[in-house]
Structure 1
Amino acid sequence: MVNRVTLTGHLGADPDVKDLSAGVVANCRLATTDYYKDRATGNLKEATEWHRLVFFGRHAEIARDFLAKGSRIYIDGRLRTRKWTSNGLDRYTTEVVVEALEMIGAPRGYAQPEGNPDAGAPPQAGDDEWMRAYDEAEASQVPSK
Protein backbone atom coordinates (compact mmCIF):
# COMPACT_ATOMS: atom_id res chain seq x y z
CA MET A 1 0.00 0.00 0.00
CA VAL A 2 1.21 3.49 -0.80
CA ASN A 3 0.14 6.75 0.83
CA ARG A 4 2.21 9.40 -0.94
CA VAL A 5 1.43 12.99 -1.96
CA THR A 6 3.66 15.28 -4.00
CA LEU A 7 2.58 18.89 -4.57
CA THR A 8 3.99 22.16 -5.83
CA GLY A 9 2.14 25.39 -5.20
CA HIS A 10 1.90 28.68 -3.34
CA LEU A 11 1.08 29.19 0.33
CA GLY A 12 -2.25 30.91 0.94
CA ALA A 13 -1.19 32.36 4.32
CA ASP A 14 1.75 32.51 6.69
CA PRO A 15 2.23 29.21 8.54
CA ASP A 16 0.39 29.03 11.87
CA VAL A 17 3.10 27.72 14.24
CA LYS A 18 2.45 26.39 17.74
CA ASP A 19 4.90 25.20 20.38
CA LEU A 20 3.33 22.19 22.08
CA SER A 21 4.69 20.02 24.86
CA ALA A 22 5.38 17.29 22.27
CA GLY A 23 7.22 19.72 19.92
CA VAL A 24 6.56 22.32 17.26
CA VAL A 25 3.67 22.01 14.77
CA ALA A 26 2.81 24.31 11.85
CA ASN A 27 -0.31 24.42 9.68
CA CYS A 28 -0.93 26.25 6.42
CA ARG A 29 -2.82 26.02 3.14
CA LEU A 30 -1.26 25.31 -0.25
CA ALA A 31 -2.87 26.30 -3.57
CA THR A 32 -2.20 24.19 -6.64
CA THR A 33 -3.54 25.33 -10.01
CA ASP A 34 -4.25 23.33 -13.17
CA TYR A 35 -4.75 25.04 -16.52
CA TYR A 36 -6.88 23.55 -19.28
CA LYS A 37 -8.63 24.53 -22.49
CA ASP A 38 -12.44 24.65 -22.36
CA ARG A 39 -13.69 22.43 -25.19
CA ALA A 40 -16.87 24.43 -25.72
CA THR A 41 -15.32 27.91 -25.94
CA GLY A 42 -11.64 27.21 -26.55
CA ASN A 43 -10.72 29.60 -23.72
CA LEU A 44 -7.95 28.82 -21.29
CA LYS A 45 -9.39 28.08 -17.83
CA GLU A 46 -7.84 27.42 -14.47
CA ALA A 47 -8.87 25.26 -11.54
CA THR A 48 -7.32 25.88 -8.13
CA GLU A 49 -7.33 23.27 -5.37
CA TRP A 50 -6.52 24.05 -1.74
CA HIS A 51 -4.65 21.57 0.44
CA ARG A 52 -4.17 21.60 4.22
CA LEU A 53 -0.54 21.03 5.19
CA VAL A 54 0.82 20.09 8.61
CA PHE A 55 4.51 20.25 9.52
CA PHE A 56 6.01 18.66 12.63
CA GLY A 57 9.31 19.14 14.47
CA ARG A 58 12.16 20.57 12.44
CA HIS A 59 9.98 20.98 9.35
CA ALA A 60 7.66 23.19 11.41
CA GLU A 61 10.63 25.30 12.53
CA ILE A 62 11.76 25.65 8.91
CA ALA A 63 8.23 26.69 7.90
CA ARG A 64 8.19 29.28 10.70
CA ASP A 65 11.60 30.71 9.78
CA PHE A 66 11.54 30.61 5.98
CA LEU A 67 7.97 30.46 4.63
CA ALA A 68 5.39 33.21 4.17
CA LYS A 69 2.16 33.79 2.29
CA GLY A 70 2.85 33.45 -1.43
CA SER A 71 5.96 31.29 -1.01
CA ARG A 72 6.25 28.65 -3.70
CA ILE A 73 7.15 25.25 -2.30
CA TYR A 74 7.50 21.61 -3.29
CA ILE A 75 6.37 19.10 -0.69
CA ASP A 76 6.26 15.35 -0.35
CA GLY A 77 4.21 13.68 2.35
CA ARG A 78 1.30 11.44 3.23
CA LEU A 79 -2.44 11.93 3.62
CA ARG A 80 -4.02 11.80 7.06
CA THR A 81 -7.72 12.13 7.90
CA ARG A 82 -8.70 13.32 11.36
CA LYS A 83 -12.13 12.99 12.96
CA TRP A 84 -13.70 14.95 15.82
CA THR A 85 -17.20 15.62 17.13
CA SER A 86 -18.72 19.11 17.18
CA ASN A 87 -22.26 19.77 18.40
CA GLY A 88 -22.99 16.04 18.27
CA LEU A 89 -21.93 15.76 14.61
CA ASP A 90 -18.87 13.91 13.35
CA ARG A 91 -16.48 16.19 11.45
CA TYR A 92 -13.56 15.17 9.25
CA THR A 93 -10.58 16.87 7.66
CA THR A 94 -7.91 15.48 5.37
CA GLU A 95 -4.44 16.99 5.47
CA VAL A 96 -0.99 16.35 4.07
CA VAL A 97 1.64 15.52 6.69
CA VAL A 98 4.79 17.03 5.17
CA GLU A 99 7.81 14.72 5.20
CA ALA A 100 10.00 16.60 2.69
CA LEU A 101 10.03 20.30 1.84
CA GLU A 102 11.85 22.34 -0.78
CA MET A 103 11.53 26.08 -1.24
CA ILE A 104 11.23 27.26 -4.82
CA GLY A 105 12.23 30.87 -5.31
CA ALA A 106 13.55 33.45 -2.89
CA PRO A 107 12.97 33.07 0.85
CA ARG A 108 11.09 35.48 3.08
CA GLY A 109 12.65 38.95 3.04
CA TYR A 110 14.52 38.48 -0.26
CA ALA A 111 13.43 40.26 -3.43
CA GLN A 112 12.13 38.29 -6.41
CA PRO A 113 13.64 39.16 -9.80
CA GLU A 114 11.47 41.35 -12.05
CA GLY A 115 9.21 39.52 -14.47
CA ASN A 116 9.62 36.02 -12.96
CA PRO A 117 7.94 35.66 -9.55
CA ASP A 118 8.81 31.94 -9.32
CA ALA A 119 12.56 32.34 -9.77
CA GLY A 120 14.85 32.81 -6.83
CA ALA A 121 16.95 35.89 -6.25
CA PRO A 122 20.37 35.51 -7.85
CA PRO A 123 22.99 34.58 -5.28
CA GLN A 124 25.25 37.43 -4.34
CA ALA A 125 28.23 37.62 -2.01
CA GLY A 126 27.00 37.40 1.58
CA ASP A 127 23.44 36.40 0.59
CA ASP A 128 24.00 32.67 0.99
CA GLU A 129 23.42 32.69 4.75
CA TRP A 130 19.77 31.69 4.38
CA MET A 131 20.78 28.83 2.04
CA ARG A 132 23.30 27.54 4.54
CA ALA A 133 20.74 27.72 7.38
CA TYR A 134 18.17 25.91 5.25
CA ASP A 135 20.67 23.21 4.20
CA GLU A 136 21.67 22.67 7.83
CA ALA A 137 18.02 22.40 8.84
CA GLU A 138 17.36 19.87 6.06
CA ALA A 139 20.45 17.86 7.05
CA SER A 140 19.13 17.60 10.60
CA GLN A 141 16.03 15.81 9.20
CA VAL A 142 18.07 12.74 8.12
CA PRO A 143 17.01 9.91 10.46
CA SER A 144 19.83 8.34 12.41
CA LYS A 145 19.99 4.59 12.89
Structure 2
Amino acid sequence: MANLNRVQLIGRLGRDPEVRYIPSGAQVVSFSMAVDRVWKGQDGERKQATEWFQLEAWGRLGEICQQYLKKGSLAYVEGELRNDQWVDDKGEKRSRTKINMNGLQLLEPRRHDEPPRRPWKSQRSKNLLNHVDVKTYGWERAFRPQSRQAST
Protein backbone atom coordinates (compact mmCIF):
# COMPACT_ATOMS: atom_id res chain seq x y z
CA MET A 1 0.00 0.00 0.00
CA ALA A 2 1.39 3.42 -0.99
CA ASN A 3 1.65 6.35 1.42
CA LEU A 4 1.42 10.04 0.62
CA ASN A 5 2.05 13.09 2.80
CA ARG A 6 1.93 16.16 0.56
CA VAL A 7 0.60 19.68 1.08
CA GLN A 8 0.27 22.43 -1.53
CA LEU A 9 -0.78 25.97 -0.55
CA ILE A 10 -1.12 29.36 -2.19
CA GLY A 11 -1.40 32.16 0.31
CA ARG A 12 0.10 35.25 1.91
CA LEU A 13 2.62 35.37 4.74
CA GLY A 14 1.17 36.51 8.04
CA ARG A 15 4.55 37.60 9.42
CA ASP A 16 8.14 38.03 8.32
CA PRO A 17 10.16 34.80 8.32
CA GLU A 18 11.95 34.19 11.64
CA VAL A 19 15.35 32.51 11.76
CA ARG A 20 16.53 30.25 14.58
CA TYR A 21 19.35 27.78 14.97
CA ILE A 22 19.08 24.34 16.55
CA PRO A 23 21.89 22.99 18.77
CA SER A 24 23.54 21.20 15.83
CA GLY A 25 23.92 24.60 14.11
CA ALA A 26 21.30 24.01 11.39
CA GLN A 27 19.21 27.02 10.38
CA VAL A 28 15.41 26.83 10.55
CA VAL A 29 13.16 29.54 9.12
CA SER A 30 9.53 29.66 10.26
CA PHE A 31 6.53 31.79 9.36
CA SER A 32 2.74 31.66 9.12
CA MET A 33 0.65 31.64 5.95
CA ALA A 34 -2.98 32.65 5.48
CA VAL A 35 -5.05 30.84 2.84
CA ASP A 36 -8.52 32.19 2.01
CA ARG A 37 -11.47 29.97 1.24
CA VAL A 38 -14.42 31.54 -0.62
CA TRP A 39 -17.86 30.02 -1.21
CA LYS A 40 -21.50 30.96 -1.68
CA GLY A 41 -23.80 30.35 1.24
CA GLN A 42 -27.31 28.90 1.04
CA ASP A 43 -28.63 32.45 0.78
CA GLY A 44 -26.43 33.02 -2.30
CA GLU A 45 -24.23 35.47 -0.45
CA ARG A 46 -20.44 35.29 -0.84
CA LYS A 47 -18.66 34.05 2.29
CA GLN A 48 -14.98 33.88 3.14
CA ALA A 49 -12.88 32.17 5.79
CA THR A 50 -9.14 32.28 6.38
CA GLU A 51 -7.12 29.24 7.44
CA TRP A 52 -3.72 29.78 9.07
CA PHE A 53 -0.79 27.40 8.65
CA GLN A 54 2.62 27.27 10.34
CA LEU A 55 5.53 26.54 8.00
CA GLU A 56 9.20 25.65 8.46
CA ALA A 57 12.01 25.65 5.89
CA TRP A 58 15.47 24.19 6.45
CA GLY A 59 18.83 24.70 4.76
CA ARG A 60 19.03 26.53 1.44
CA LEU A 61 15.24 26.77 1.12
CA GLY A 62 15.17 28.55 4.49
CA GLU A 63 17.80 31.01 3.29
CA ILE A 64 15.72 31.76 0.18
CA CYS A 65 12.59 32.30 2.30
CA GLN A 66 14.49 34.66 4.58
CA GLN A 67 15.91 36.59 1.62
CA TYR A 68 12.81 36.99 -0.57
CA LEU A 69 9.69 36.62 1.60
CA LYS A 70 8.14 39.19 3.89
CA LYS A 71 4.80 39.75 5.59
CA GLY A 72 2.09 39.90 2.89
CA SER A 73 4.13 38.09 0.18
CA LEU A 74 2.08 35.84 -2.11
CA ALA A 75 3.67 32.41 -2.54
CA TYR A 76 3.04 28.82 -3.56
CA VAL A 77 4.57 26.35 -1.11
CA GLU A 78 4.62 22.60 -0.95
CA GLY A 79 5.77 20.27 1.76
CA GLU A 80 4.77 17.60 4.26
CA LEU A 81 2.63 17.68 7.39
CA ARG A 82 4.54 17.17 10.62
CA ASN A 83 3.16 16.82 14.13
CA ASP A 84 5.31 18.03 17.03
CA GLN A 85 4.50 16.73 20.50
CA TRP A 86 6.10 17.84 23.77
CA VAL A 87 5.43 18.31 27.47
CA ASP A 88 5.36 21.94 28.61
CA ASP A 89 6.72 23.43 31.85
CA LYS A 90 3.44 22.65 33.66
CA GLY A 91 3.64 18.97 32.67
CA GLU A 92 0.82 19.18 30.12
CA LYS A 93 1.09 17.40 26.78
CA ARG A 94 1.11 19.81 23.86
CA SER A 95 1.07 19.26 20.11
CA ARG A 96 1.25 21.35 16.98
CA THR A 97 0.85 20.59 13.29
CA LYS A 98 3.19 22.36 10.89
CA ILE A 99 4.25 22.08 7.27
CA ASN A 100 7.85 21.14 6.60
CA MET A 101 8.51 22.87 3.27
CA ASN A 102 10.33 21.27 0.35
CA GLY A 103 9.30 23.65 -2.46
CA LEU A 104 8.58 27.34 -3.02
CA GLN A 105 7.40 29.54 -5.89
CA LEU A 106 7.16 33.30 -5.43
CA LEU A 107 4.00 34.56 -7.14
CA GLU A 108 4.59 38.31 -7.16
CA PRO A 109 6.81 40.32 -9.48
CA ARG A 110 10.18 41.14 -7.99
CA ARG A 111 11.10 44.62 -6.83
CA HIS A 112 13.64 46.62 -8.87
CA ASP A 113 16.32 46.21 -6.21
CA GLU A 114 16.02 42.38 -6.10
CA PRO A 115 18.26 40.06 -8.09
CA PRO A 116 16.56 37.70 -10.62
CA ARG A 117 15.08 34.58 -9.04
CA ARG A 118 14.15 31.11 -10.19
CA PRO A 119 11.67 28.59 -8.78
CA TRP A 120 13.33 26.56 -6.06
CA LYS A 121 12.49 22.91 -5.60
CA SER A 122 14.16 20.33 -3.44
CA GLN A 123 15.70 17.43 -5.31
CA ARG A 124 13.00 15.15 -3.91
CA SER A 125 10.10 17.11 -5.35
CA LYS A 126 11.59 18.74 -8.46
CA ASN A 127 9.19 17.01 -10.87
CA LEU A 128 5.94 17.59 -8.94
CA LEU A 129 5.10 20.87 -10.60
CA ASN A 130 5.82 22.49 -13.95
CA HIS A 131 6.74 26.05 -13.00
CA VAL A 132 5.81 28.61 -15.61
CA ASP A 133 5.18 32.33 -15.63
CA VAL A 134 1.73 32.76 -14.01
CA LYS A 135 1.18 36.19 -15.56
CA THR A 136 1.83 34.89 -19.08
CA TYR A 137 -0.09 31.62 -18.99
CA GLY A 138 -2.67 32.09 -16.24
CA TRP A 139 -3.39 30.03 -13.11
CA GLU A 140 -4.87 26.97 -14.79
CA ARG A 141 -1.75 26.39 -16.93
CA ALA A 142 0.73 27.34 -14.24
CA PHE A 143 -0.30 24.57 -11.87
CA ARG A 144 -0.97 21.76 -14.32
CA PRO A 145 1.69 19.00 -14.28
CA GLN A 146 3.67 18.82 -17.51
CA SER A 147 2.61 15.91 -19.70
CA ARG A 148 5.31 13.61 -21.01
CA GLN A 149 5.53 13.37 -24.78
CA ALA A 150 7.10 10.40 -26.51
CA SER A 151 10.25 11.29 -28.39
CA THR A 152 10.54 10.20 -32.00
Residue 4 of structure 2 aligns to a residue whose secondary structure is: coil
Q: Tell me the equivalent position of 1:89.
A: 92
- Separation of aligned partners in 1, 2:69 and 2:83: 24
Equivalent position of 2:4 in the other structure: 2
C-alpha contact 2:30 2:56 (8 A) present in aligned 1: yes
Pick from 101, 105, 110 the counterpart of residue 102 of structure 1.
105
Which residue identity lines up with residue 75 of structure 2 in the other structure? I
Structure 2 residue ranges without an equivalent (≥5): 125-152
Deviations 1:79-122 (A, max 9, x none): 00000111111000000000000100034xx2xxxxxxxxxxxx
Q: 1:12 aligns with which of 14, 22, 28?
A: 14
Corresponding residue for 2:120?
138
Q: Give 1:138 deviation, angstroms.
A: 3.2
Using the alignment, how far apart are the partners of 2:53 and 2:108 within structure 1? 20
- Computed over aligned residues only, the root mean square deviation of the Cα atoms, in angstroms, reads 2.0
Structure 2 residue aligned with 1:30, among 33, 44, 50?
Answer: 33
Give the drift of 1:38.
Answer: 1.1
Distance in 2 (CA, whole Å) between partners of 1:44 and 1:129 is 38
Give the 3-state SS of the residue equivalent to 1:105 in structure 2.
Answer: coil
In the alignment, what sits opposite 2:139?
none
What SS does the aligned partner of 2:65 have?
A: helix
Determine which of 75, 79, 87 is the counterpart of 2:77: 75
Which 4+ stretches in 1 moved above 4 angstroms?
Answer: none
Match of 1:116 in 2: none
CA distance in structure 2 between the partners assigned to 1:16 and 1:27 by the alignment: 5
Query: Would you say the 8 A contact 2:105–2:120 is kept in 1?
Result: no
Higher relative contact order (CA 8 A, sep 6+): 1
> For residues 4 and 142 of structure 1, what CA distance do their matches in structure 2 show?
15
Q: Given the superposition, is the C-alpha separation of residues 88 and 102 from structure 1 closer, same or farther in structure 2, using an over 3 Å criterion?
A: same
Q: Which has the higher strand share?
A: 1
Look up the equivalent residue of 1:27 and give its one-letter code. S
